[in-house]
Amino acid sequence: MIALFAGLIFGIGLLLSGLTDPAKVTAFLDLAGAWDPSLTFVMGGAIGAATPAFMLAARRKHSVLGAPMQLPVKQSIDRRLLIGSFAFGIGWGLAGYCPGPAITSLGAGSSAALIFVGAMLIGMAAFEGIERFRSARRPATITQ
């Protein structure tokens, strides 16, 4: 129920902020043209709300529901992060969607979101297939 409630709040926030409108997103990303800075305030508000929550979570060993905390520990910037960020940014700029808003728009019956989510799922499956292939080709390491 908590996940359903959180998802509902997130989806409503995406709708109210305009992040489900690809034209608004592409206008935000058009720095050299008709730039729409309004999403800057949405992102700033999200960062402002998330920062104290992450600081609190970092000090806890268990979640509110008793599950062990599983926060990211890696802090370095590597090739995979850069390539993934680049691919995400290109997709966001071309389609005007990222995963959360696309799924919210899909729920509202958007055919463009349906195409985006389909392509996203194909990309995720391709990544998993490539990762499995790469890990199968790696020599097994012996641990003592």
Domain assignment of residue 89, yes or no: yes
- The residue range of the domain holding 32 is 2-137
Give the 3-state DSSP-derived string for 51-107, with helices as H, strands as E and coil as C: HHHHHHHHCCCECCCCCECCCCCCCCCCHHHHHHHHHHHHHHHHHCCCHHHHHHHHH
- Residue 143 is predicted with a pLDDT of 58
Domain assignment of residue 142, yes or no: no
Task: Tell me the CA end-to-end span of the chain in Å, nearest whole number.
Answer: 43
Question: What's the average model confidence in pLDDT over 79-97?
Answer: 89
Domain assignment of residue 143, yes or no: no
Domain assignment of residue 55, yes or no: yes
The answer, as to whether pTM is greater than 0.75, is: no
- Residue 14 is predicted with a pLDDT of 87
Number of domains in the chain: 1
With 70 as the cut, is the pLDDT of residue 142 above it? no
Q: Which residues lie closer than 8 Å to 69 by C-beta, 6 or more apart?
A: 57, 60, 61, 62, 63
